[in-house]
C-alpha cells in the first residue's frame, strides 16, 4: 500500500512538472510569434528580436521563412510565415 501511494505521489509530481514545462514552452513560442506579429504590424523594429524569433521558430518547427534565404532575409518574415508557425504550435 505504501508503495502504491508513493508511486501515485511521484506520478502526480511528474505530471505537474510536465504541465509546467509545457506552459513555459507554449509561452515562449507565443512570445516569439508575437514579435513576428508586431513586426508585421510595424510595431517592432528591433532587428535582433526579429532575427531571434525567426531563427527560433525556424529551428523549432523546421518551417523555413519565405524570405529570400540570405542572412538579411530573416529580418523580413511574412504573414504566411507567421501563420505557418502559429498553426504548427496549435
**Residue 6 maps to a domain:** no
**Residue 36 maps to a domain:** yes
| Structural domain for 76, as ranges | 23-89
Q: With H, G, I as helix, E, B as strand and everything else as coil, classify residue 38.
A: helix
Q: Which residues of the chain have pLDDT under 70?
A: 1-21, 68-74
**Residue 69 maps to a domain:** yes
Could you give the number of structural domains in the chain? 1
Q: What pLDDT, on the 0 to 100 scale, is given for residue 75?
A: 74
Angle at 56 between CA 30 and CA 82, to 5 degrees: 55
C-alpha distance across the termini of the chain, in Å: 41
**Residue 15 maps to a domain:** no
Please give the C-alpha separations between residue 28 and each of 4, 7, 25, 38, in angstroms, as whole numbers.
Answer: 36, 32, 5, 15
**Residue 7 maps to a domain:** no
Q: What pLDDT, on the 0 to 100 scale, is given for residue 26?
A: 87
Amino acid at each position: 500500500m505504501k508503495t502504491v501511494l508513493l508511486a501515485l505521489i511521484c506520478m502526480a509530481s511528474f505530471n505537474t512538472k510536465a504541465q509546467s514545462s509545457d506552459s513555459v514552452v507554449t509561452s515562449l513560442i507565443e512570445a516569439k510569434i508575437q514579435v513576428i506579429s508586431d513586426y508585421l504590424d510595424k510595431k517592432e523594429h528591433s532587428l535582433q528580436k526579429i532575427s531571434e524569433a525567426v531563427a527560433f521558430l525556424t529551428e523549432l518547427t523546421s518551417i523555413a521563412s519565405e524570405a529570400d534565404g540570405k542572412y538579411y532575409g530573416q529580418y523580413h518574415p511574412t504573414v504566411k510565415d507567421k501563420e505557418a508557425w502559429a498553426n504548427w504550435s496549435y
